[in-house]
Structure 1
Amino acid sequence: MKLNEISDNPGATKNRMRVGRGIGSGKGKTAGRGVKGQKARTGVSIKGFEGGQMPLHRRLPKRGFNNLYAQDLNEVNLGRIQEAVEAGKLDKAATVTVETLVAAGIIARPRDGVKLLGVGELTAKLSFEVTRASKSAIEAVEKAGGSVTVAFATGVSHRGGAKAEATA
């Protein structure tokens, strides 16, 4: 094989479209840009421009704020946990954490942690290690003979801000 015999696979490369080369080419006149004027030129951005009038996005007032320290938590009800235990997806002996909930398919991804909510009935004796828990959830777990450890997640949130560090 010689260097001049090397070629790409058939169909791997495409010839570029030659625009502005006559009406018969299908890409003549406006060369696929469709309009004359500013929109037909390169390097011009006119998004939101209203002909010199104050644009709508600047006329409207700003509302609210974005909390840098907000946590995006998965909310899990006790009834859902009980269903998973009965289906054999969760081990009664192991501590229920974010990782075990993801492995069991109860939550899709870890996010910033898990908040345990008290909706539903829990009969299995389980120990939980979660980011947050409601009072009703803690009472229901302790009534069933289990325990809840609330450990606030630390580090940096996926939103870009630092998470609040606290002890329960």
Structure 2
Amino acid sequence: MYLNALQPAEGSVKNRKRIGRGTGSGRGGTSTRGHKGAKSRSGYSQKSGFEGGQMPLQRRVPKYGFKNINRVEFKAINIDVLQALAESTNETVFNFEFFKSHGLVSKNDKVKILGRGEVSKTVEVHAHAFSQSAISSIEKAGGKTVTL
């Protein structure tokens, strides 16, 4: 093998289209732009969403609702998930690092514990928010809730 013998793989390199180089090239004349009209001219650009004068979609569809910029998104974890984790890992303290290491949350998430299911073990749960039913369920089993 020599450097002068190197070649690209078969079919990996294409020749560029030489447009507007005479009729003999097959791409002379209109240079693949069709006949007349704004699209055939140089300097043509169309506004995004322009539909030829027809009322564009973003103006036909009515506006409704809004996005609250102050909304806080929580990652919900139910009590039955805590119960399953307590049984499988024999842990009694559930904090953010524990949830992160078990793939339940990402580093920027906020955690909210919800009340679906029952917890039988005495556990200590650290989270950003709790539902009332989750707090009562955890404390009924002798556990403790800590708001971060």
- TM-score, normalization: structure 2? 0.71
Q: Conserved in 2, the CA contact under 8 Å of 1:128 and 1:149? A: yes
Indicate if the aligned counterparts of 2:38 and 2:44 stay in contact, CA closer than 8 A: no
Counterpart position of 2:98: 100
Structure 2 residue aligned with 1:133 = 130
Change (3 A) 1:65 1:125: same
Aligned counterparts, 1:49-60, within 5 A: 49-60=50-61
The corresponding residue for 2:120 is: 123
Count of aligned pairs: 136
Q: Percent of aligned positions with the same letter in both sequences?
A: 33
Contact 1:122 1:141 in 2 (8 A): yes
Instruction: Pick closer, same or farther for the CA change 1:46–1:149 going to 2, 3 Å.
Output: same
Question: Quick one: structure 1 residues 148 and 15, their matched pair in 2 at CA, closer, same or farther if it must change by over 3 Å?
Answer: same
Matched position secondary structure for 1:69:
coil
Please give the alpha-carbon distance, in whole angstroms, between the structure 1 residues aligned to 2:7 and 2:86.
Answer: 56
Structure number with bigger Rg: 2
Contact kept? 2:100, 2:106, Cα under 8 Å: yes
Could you tell which deviates more after superposition, 42-51 or 69-78?
42-51
Change beyond 3 A, Cα 1:99–1:43: farther
Q: Aligned equivalents of 1:35 and 1:73: distance in 2? A: 57
Q: Distance in 2 between matches of 1:16 and 1:150?
A: 65
Q: How does 1:27-66 map to 2 (within 5 A)?
A: 29-30=31-32, 37-38=37-38, 44-66=45-67
Higher alpha-carbon deviation: 15-24 or 55-64: 15-24
Which residue is 1:159 aligned to?
A: none
Partner of 2:145: 148
Match of 1:18 in 2: 17
Deviations 1:32-84 (A, max 9, x none): x7897555666623432122233221233321111111112111011011111
Unaligned runs of at least 5 residues, structure 2? none
